[in-house]
Each structure stands twice: as C-alpha cells, then as structure tokens.
Amino acid sequence: MKTAFLCDERVFWHAGGNYAFTLPAGDLVQPMAGGLPENPETKRRLRNLIEVTGLLRELDATGADPATTEDLRRVHPADYLARFKALSDAGGGELGPRAPFGRGGYEIAALSAGLGIEALARVLTGRARNAYALTRPPGHHCLPDRPNGFCLLANGAIAIEAARAHTPGLRVAVIDWDVHHGNGTEAIYAADPDVLTISLHQDRNYPTDTGHASVRGEGAGLGANLNIPLPPGTGHRGYLAAFERLVIPALTRFRPDAILVACGYDAAAVDPLGRMLATAETFAQLARRTLDAADHLCGGRVAMLHEGGYSEAYVPFCGHAVLAEMAGSAIAAPDPLAATLAARQPDARFDAMINAHLSDLEGFFGLR
C-alpha cells in the first residue's frame, strides 16, 4: 500500500490581503509584492520538488471533494460560515486577525478541509499506508467562530469530526509540531477526553498569550492537552529529546486509534516566523518516530495535514524528507543547508538547559 498524497491546484490560488510581511500595509508600511508570509510558493514548491525527484510517482497522488456544509457544521457555527461565505462572495476581506482571503476564499478553504478529511479517512479505512494532505489555508489556529493566524477553517478538527461521525468513540492523538501553538485545536478539544492534543511550539511566539504547560484541558478532557513550550533556539537535539521524553510516552499512555499530525515546518532554522534551529533531518526524525509509535499503538494509522512553514527555499526539502519517511522511499532530496545548519546547532550548555526543562515537564505531566 502507498502513501496517499492529497493535493489540489486550487489551494495555491488562495490569496491574502494588502500586507507587507505580517504588517498591514498603510501609514509608514510600504505594501510588499509578496504580501503575507503565507503565500502559495512554499507549498507549491514542495509539490514541485517531489515531482522533480520522482518521489511523487511512489505516492498515491490524488485529490478530494470539498468539505460539505455538514462537515463544517460539526466544528463551526452556522453564523460564522454564513459570514465567511458572504464576505468571500463579495470579494474577500478579513473576519479575524491575520486571516485575509480573496474572492472564492470560502470554497478554497472548504477544499483544503476536504483534503484533510480524505487523508484521515483513507488511513482509517485501510486505503493508504498513511496520508499527507497539502492543506492551504492551514487550520490549527482557527477557532470555531473566529479565524486566526492565516487559518480560516479548523482543518484538523473537521477531519477528526468527519471520522468520528462514521466511527463514534474513535480516539485520535494530534501531534502539532508547527512552531506556533495549536491554540484552535486545543480550544476545540479542551473538554474532550477522546482527542489528545499535543503542541510543541516556540514559547510565546504566536499566539503570545497561549500555549502554557499549565493549560492541560478541562472537565472530562483534563490531562488530554499537553503544551510543550520550547525556548527560542531549540534545535535538532532538543526537538528529538522532547519527542522521546514527552510526546511518545504521552501517546503510549493515551493509546490512540489514529494519529493526526499538524505538520508545520516553521521550526526550521531559516524560517522567518520562528526562532528555532530544526533542520530537514529533524522533521524526518520526528516523522520516523511518529510512524514507529503508530506502528506499535494503532496499526500505523498516521495522517499529516500541512500547516505553516514560510521559507520558500527550505520548506520543500523539509516536506520531502517527511514524505520519503512516510513512503519508506529511498528517493532523497539532499538538504542543501545541512552542513550550515549542523554548525549552527546549540551547544552543550543549551542542551543541559533544555534537558532540565524537559525533566520538569516530565514530572508535571506525570510521564516519569
């Protein structure tokens, strides 16, 4: 069985507003041709790189239907969807901070969510070895009634709820390794004991006021949310240590039926929206460990939904490394920055600080 690769040309047509990087243009801020960092090129170039190396031919490359209104209504209230659709039809605009869209943005967002639904469905029904959805716009910051941080619909939650509509009682673990806190997914599942949400993120990057380790869920969901804030500068060894010491033990304790990864690449060392030092090999190793854990815990059922990652040059190499692990492929796209980024990794003093931080979290989460 192959790895399913869910993609659609139209997700690259989603367009944002008049921005200069993350700043709304105007006053002293000159408009910038590229606009927001969340532009199509990172993801389009990943799609292109896997074609150029031949990896695409080892995948089951396919598309999906857009999420239906019924799919969206499981997560989002009708009035939010109505406001989104009306503004999209009227030419686009913004319904929340840093989440602009153009005409037709509603339909593209529904298509992006549909790719995620199909990725998880293929994994759960045994039609794919595992699955990767090239979702755009991304989803992990979106709240039920408010878009946020480039995210217009909560793709991950929409996929999980579509799966649970077919299979009540399904237990899903979400691993969010995007450099930003998965605040939307956390909020949606705060009180739900059957969805474990784990977010590894740069401490107080975005949003600046969420993602604290002390936020662990509420009510019946208490303990089913793990925030792992990491200091700026965390690199390859720090990410792997956090995975080994916290993420894998938390997965093992939870015993999911499937794992959904909010797969962002903005923890990469050259990303403009993160201050971390991960490399393409870091993401390959995170993928490898996730796949191995899934083999032990849930029949290898892993679906990845693409989230952030804003280095147009480097995201394709990170994504290629992840997809090659998922497919068990020998086809590689050698990391052109490997030597440079190896030389920039934090020193032993930083490692000692990270390990002390992870020890504290192990105790706090009861994972020791």
Among 38-46, 180-188, 233-241, 250-258, the segment contacting Zn ion (CB under 5 A): 180-188
Q: Counting Cβ atoms within 10 Å, is residue 113 exposed (0-12), middle (13-18) or buried (19+)?
A: buried
Contact call for residue 44 and Zn ion (CB under 5 A): no
Instruction: Please state the closest distance from residue 264 (CB atom) to Zn ion, in A.
Output: 5
Choice from 8, 38, 71, 178 touching Zn ion (CB under 5 A) = 178
* Residue whose CB is less far from Zn ion, 66 or 309: 309
Q: What HEC string does 96-107 produce?
A: CCCCEEECCHHH
Contact call for residue 308 and Zn ion (CB under 5 A): yes
Instruction: Please state the closest distance from residue 310 (CB atom) to Zn ion, in A.
Output: 8
Instruction: Please state the closest distance from residue 314 (CB atom) to Zn ion, in A.
Output: 14
DSSP 309: -
Contact call for residue 14 and Zn ion (CB under 5 A): no
Q: Are 190 and 216 in contact (CB under 8 A)?
A: no
> Percentages helix, strand, coil for the chain, rounded to the nearest 5?
40, 15, 40
Give the C-alpha separation, 180 to 195, whole Å: 20
Give the C-alpha separation, 49 to 249, whole Å: 34
Among 27-35, 161-169, 178-186, 338-346, the segment contacting Zn ion (CB under 5 A): 178-186
Instruction: Please state the closest distance from residue 307 (CB atom) to Zn ion, in A.
Output: 6
Catalytic residue among 76, 140, 141, 320: 141
Residue of minimal CB distance from Zn ion?
308
* Residue whose CB is less far from Zn ion, 151 or 248: 151
DSSP 278: B
Contact call for residue 194 and Zn ion (CB under 5 A): no
Instruction: Please state the closest distance from residue 164 (CB atom) to Zn ion, in A.
Output: 26
Where helices occur in the chain by DSSP H, the ranges are 41-53, 69-73, 78-89, 105-124, 155-166, 183-188, 236-242, 248-254, 280-298, 315-327, 338-343, 348-365
Site string for Zn ion, 256-285 (x = CB under 5 A): --------x-x-------------------
Contact call for residue 180 and Zn ion (CB under 5 A): yes
Q: Is residue 141 among the annotated active site residues? A: yes
Token pair listed for 233 = 């500068």
Which residues of the shown chain bind Zn ion in the complex (CB under 5 A)? 178, 180, 264, 266, 308
